[in-house]
Amino acid sequence: MSTNSKIVFFSVIITVSILGKSCNQDDTDVIPDVYVDFTIDLQDPEFSGLMVMGSFDTIDANTRNWGERAGGYNGNGIIIYTGPDGFFAYDRTCPFDYAVNNLSIRVGVDFGEAVCPLCGTRYALAAFAVPVSGTKSYPLKNYNTTLEEDRYLRVWNKK
């Protein structure tokens, strides 16, 4: 094998290794994983508002006595948002305050944005909860959602 071929081969191996590592790591998810697994009946009057695009609701451990499985990180709760392409679930813990100060600050919700009362960061719920003002460092932690039978919305994570 010629010297140039060895350099090209080595470069390809390094590039593939770096790309493979970066694809498997989610550096923006600073909030630790906690067990989340609950199902919302969208025909239940308590949650029927979620059938309207652009609407949201907040869930926590006290909702329907679901306990910790609906509490999100440190019991701060979960935001359910109805977008044009489906449902999204976000943890209500501010990732900036957690990453920088190790604080668990519960974000509020205001006109389609989650807002941290401490650092002032605003997260766009319609855009995967990315920060749109303030620190602009990390998006809110996302949880998986699955709609079953056009009625039951399951919110869960991999833990």
pLDDT in tens, 27-40: 678 999 999 999 99
Pairing of strands 130-133, 122-124: antiparallel
pLDDT category at 16 given cuts 50, 70, 90 is: very low
Query: What's residue 12's pLDDT?
Result: 33
Q: Which residue has the higher pLDDT, 139 or 26?
A: 139
pLDDT at residue 159 greater than cutoff 90 = no
Task: Provide the sign of the torsion angle of the four alpha carbons 136, 107, 49, 111, taken in this order.
Answer: negative
* pLDDT exceeds cutoff 60 at 158: yes
Residue 25: exposure state from Cβ atoms within 10 A (0-12, 13-18, ≥19): exposed
Confidence of residue 86 (pLDDT cuts 50, 70, 90): very high
Burial (CB < 10 A; 0-12, 13-18, 19+), residue 90, is: buried
Helix and strand numbers, DSSP H then E, in the chain: 2, 10
Q: DSSP 3-state assignment of 29?
A: coil
**Sequence ranges of the domains in the chain:** 28-156
Place of tokens 């191996």: 13
Average pLDDT of the residues in 139-156: 98
Is residue 136 very low, low, confident or very high in pLDDT (cuts 50, 70, 90)?
confident
Instruction: Give the model's pLDDT for residue 3.
Output: 58
Q: Tell me, what's the pLDDT at 4?
A: 52
Question: What is the average pLDDT across 135-155?
Answer: 96
Residue 38 near residue 30, CB atoms below 8 Å: no
Q: What CATH class does 28-156 carry?
A: mainly beta
What's the rounded mean pLDDT across residues 46-71? 95
User: How much is the pTM?
Assistant: 0.81
DSSP structure string for 116-154: -TTT--EEEGGGTTEEEETT---PPPEEEEEEETTTEEE
Tens digits of residue pLDDT in 94-122: 999 999 999 999 999 988 999 999 999 99
